Structure 1
Amino acid sequence: MASGSEASQPRLRKASYYAWVILAVCFLVSTLIAGINTSFGVFLVPLSREFGWSAGAISFAYSLFMLVNGLSAFGVGRLGDKYGSRLVFFIGGLVFGLALLLTSHMTEVWHLYLWYGVLAGIGRSPLNVTLVAMVSRWFSKARGLAMGIVNSGTGAGSSLFTPLTNYLIVAFSWQDAYIIMAVMVWVFLTAAVLLLRDDPRDMGYLPYGEEEDRPQPARTVKAPSPKRVAKGPDWELGEAVRTLQFWELAILHFCCCMCHAIPLVHVVPYAIRSGLSPATAASVLAAIGVFSFLGRIMWGILADRWGPKPAYVLAVFQQGLMMLWLIGTSHPLMFFLFAFFWGIGYGGAMPPYALFVKDYYGLKSFGAIYGGIMVLASLGMAAGGYLGGLLYDLSGSYQPAWILSLVAGVVTAFVALDLAPPIHPRQRRQAEMEGEISAPAGAKVSSSPA
């Protein structure tokens, strides 16, 4: 007979179709938000021509946007863990749409910094952290593929919104482009909130891939497979930040984001100054989006097969080394070949971070831990976007910026080689106690080598 506590608990069903509904909605939201974000480079030349602002001055708005976005991520993650990702997501969408609407009315550069840099950064932050947290809770199996799909919205968004933004600017004006994007954010994100749910258990489901009443395997001494980290206790934020792995992931995110922020913001103006038409230059960024979309799916599948670390290392090596291709490039064909090879590598740079956090630290404080790492990621995006414009203003060439991107990408790959799962303090204490118990009588147990 079942005990009273077991009988009072509702039986959870296997998550089947609705996990994929959640993933599809998260992908579409990611496509919209990332598309608006990556289209910033298309506004650089029109704003420079209308107001006479330098590339560095305009790029600083993007850097400020990413900085505020990152600093907000830590608080957003904690709010999502406490009040639910869905509520935080909805508020973020309202703020982000308002910021885009206000940006359409700017006449001074400080307006750009305030409305786009600060307010849009605050609104954008919940739209990333909450999506990743939801997908992490809904998927236990095929997590690499799921993260690849939701992050592939970045590629799909840039491939769709770069030419769309260029069309809106040419056909109407840059002001109208921002107004249309603001309306799209409000309408689409409001509809998304109606479908999204924080946790499968809120609907009586198990995470996708978990079986009903699945028996737990017996504990063995066998070392964990490199493809999957053995599940241990969930970590608190304070425990996680005291581990080396937390700061390694943060540094990786910083350098990796600096690497790809530079070409994402500056490849369009560089292509225009190299002789390509604005439409063709925008198409290069769109092509990067298409191939990064394919790359995220490909690297996500490989992360499920190999584990996130090997897939991540190979992807960031490709992303960094391909910056050599861009140095001195002027022919349209060479730009599109760069878009293919660099886009594939760039596609594998983002999905593994959530996999690392979930594998290393569990789900209890996932939002806060992932948000803390995202602070450094956004600092990297901010630094890359700004330094690319600054180096161009100082040298009159984008080659120093491409070299900086190359160095950041290679550093990322080498640091990633050192990643290994952390040991929870509780597991360490338990191992020490078991070691003392199993030691022969009268033997002295020492933690230092003889």
Structure 2
Amino acid sequence: MRYVVLAASILLQVCLGGLYAWSAFVPALRAAHGLSTAQTQFIFGVLIATFTVVMVAVGRLQERFGPRPVALVGGLLFGAGYLAAGLSDGSFVSLTVCIGLLAGEGTGFCYVCPLAVCVRWFPSHKGLVTGLAVAGFGGGAVLLASWADALLAGGMDVLVVFRWIGLTYGAAILAAACALSVPARRIGGARRRGPTAATLFRDRVFWALALGMFAGTFAGLLVVGNLKPMAAAAGVAPWWAAMAIVAFAVGNTAGRITWGFLADRLGARAIPLSLAFLAAAALCLLGVRRWDLAFTGGAMLVGFGFGACFVVYAAHVASRYSPDRVGTVYPPVFLAYGLAGIVGPAAGGFLLDLTGTSLAGLVLSAAVAALGAMVARKLLRPLASAAGFYPNIAAAARPS
């Protein structure tokens, strides 16, 4: 049964991960509907911010009602958002409401459910199973970017593409949601009371996780949200620019699995290490941005570093606060991703519009990731054990 749950979790995450193919729609939205680069990135940022804010409330809902009904609601919202976008006039306001808010709510309802159930089915391999589950989220961009590019190249209007996404992806999410469940042995068992908000916000490890999440996702989202326009500004051929999106997604997928494996073995050390890798990858992309194949390879490296953000932090939440508390503790950490989603892509789009090159955006991406690595290392060092993990403070919580 647990492998059915894992397969359903991966499928669900594949559908949700299509949001990272957003830059594939940017040229069509600019050409056919008059949106600026900054406006398209604002929509992308609202989508991510809505998804993360909603996820905080959903973490408690899925513990109360179970993952299946919560994910089913998410599938309905997700499909309705893209369908409404496809039937709209394509204006900035319409797309912000339909994709940014409505589809963002659907993503938020769905995202935490697979993570919360997988760490309960595989408690001895929290990092690896989290990496496998969210690898689908990274790989989803490969599928959607390839499909969208084919449809747009064939002359289909971008709004019609949104309609197809709403129908097909919405149906797939609903099917995957039906297979989600928690282990039977958890039912009726004693549960530990999670940390209060006051306790959580006094915990320096929580702030290390939140700040690290912000730095890594800011750097990665700035790049992926503007990857195709950056490639065009650098003179990269259109076909290679499309391949760069696919390469980023492939690296993102591989990174989630690899960093999940490393998180089980390195513990705390995986966090600053992953941020340092991401900073170096952004600088690598900066150095090779004028060569087609090298640009694609650099995008893959950035994706590989970015993938760590969705594994190492969730794995450490499970280690420090127990697997049962992932659904309630991880969403507040994930709020940092929502903030990064608002400012990262928009900052990249603004700098691209202002300068006409990708130089400033890539420098900012690398600087934020490097600063995050230093801050996380400083906050985590006094608390790490010899193995790199932290004591589980949930052990002190009383059974409810």
Name the TM-score, length of structure 2 as normaliser: 0.89
User: Structure 1: which 5+ residue stretches go unaligned?
Assistant: 1-17, 207-231, 429-450
Could you tell me which residue of structure 2 aligns to residue 111 of structure 1? 94
Could you tell me which residue of structure 1 aligns to residue 134 of structure 2? 151
1:252 and 2:212 aligned? yes
Q: Is the 8 A contact 1:81 1:366 kept in 2?
A: no
Could you tell me which residue of structure 1 aligns to residue 364 of structure 2? 404
Provide the C-alpha distance between the structure 1 equivalents of 2:314 and 2:358, rounded to a whole number of angstroms: 32
1:43 and 2:25 aligned? yes
Report the count of equivalent residues. 384
Q: Given the superposition, is the C-alpha separation of residues 153 and 237 from structure 1 closer, same or farther in structure 2, using an over 3 Å criterion? A: farther
C-alpha root-mean-square deviation of aligned residues, in Å? 2.4
Letter of the aligned partner of 1:236 in structure 2? P
Name the TM-score, length of structure 1 as normaliser: 0.80
1:345 is aligned, of 305, 315, 340, to 305
Q: Is the 8 A contact 2:72 2:178 kept in 1?
A: no
**TM-superposed deviation, 1:62:** 0.8
Could you give the per-residue CA deviations for residues 135-191 of structure 1, whole angstroms, max 9, x where no partner exists? 122111122211111121133212222121111122222122111111122221221
SS of match in other structure, 1:236 = coil
Q: Is the 8 A contact 1:303 1:311 kept in 2?
A: yes
Q: Is the 8 A contact 1:41 1:265 kept in 2?
A: yes
Provide the C-alpha distance between the structure 2 equivalents of 1:330 and 1:125, rounded to a whole number of angstroms: 37
SS of match in other structure, 2:124 = coil
Provide the C-alpha distance between the structure 1 equivalents of 2:260 and 2:205, rounded to a whole number of angstroms: 21
1:167 and 2:167 aligned? no
Provide the C-alpha distance between the structure 2 equivalents of 1:295 and 1:425, rounded to a whole number of angstroms: 29
Provide the C-alpha distance between the structure 1 equivalents of 2:9 and 2:395, rounded to a whole number of angstroms: 35
Provide the C-alpha distance between the structure 1 equivalents of 2:46 and 2:249, rounded to a whole number of angstroms: 23
Q: Given the superposition, is the C-alpha separation of residues 180 and 277 from structure 1 closer, same or farther in structure 2, using an over 3 Å criterion? A: farther
SS of match in other structure, 1:195 = coil
Provide the C-alpha distance between the structure 2 equivalents of 1:353 and 1:186, rounded to a whole number of angstroms: 28
**TM-superposed deviation, 1:426:** 8.2
2:170 is aligned, of 162, 183, 186, to 186
1:56 and 2:38 aligned? yes
1:30 and 2:10 aligned? no
Q: Given the superposition, is the C-alpha separation of residues 94 and 247 from structure 1 closer, same or farther in structure 2, using an over 3 Å criterion? A: same
1:374 is aligned, of 334, 359, 370, to 334
**TM-superposed deviation, 1:380:** 1.0
Q: Given the superposition, is the C-alpha separation of residues 47 and 311 from structure 1 closer, same or farther in structure 2, using an over 3 Å criterion? A: same
**TM-superposed deviation, 1:425:** 9.3
User: Structure 2: which 5+ residue stretches go unaligned?
Assistant: 384-389
Structure (1/2) with the larger helix percentage: 2
Letter of the aligned partner of 1:41 in structure 2? S
1:99 is aligned, of 81, 101, 114, to 81
Provide the C-alpha distance between the structure 2 equivalents of 1:117 and 1:182, rounded to a whole number of angstroms: 14
Q: Is the 8 A contact 1:267 1:285 kept in 2?
A: yes
Could you tell me which residue of structure 1 aligns to residue 182 of structure 2? 198
Provide the C-alpha distance between the structure 2 equivalents of 1:352 and 1:334, rounded to a whole number of angstroms: 28
Q: Given the superposition, is the C-alpha separation of residues 175 and 365 from structure 1 closer, same or farther in structure 2, using an over 3 Å criterion? A: same
Q: Is the 8 A contact 1:284 1:336 kept in 2?
A: yes
**TM-superposed deviation, 1:88:** 1.0
Q: Is the 8 A contact 1:168 1:176 kept in 2?
A: no
Identity of aligned residues (%): 27
Q: Is the 8 A contact 2:252 2:305 kept in 1?
A: yes
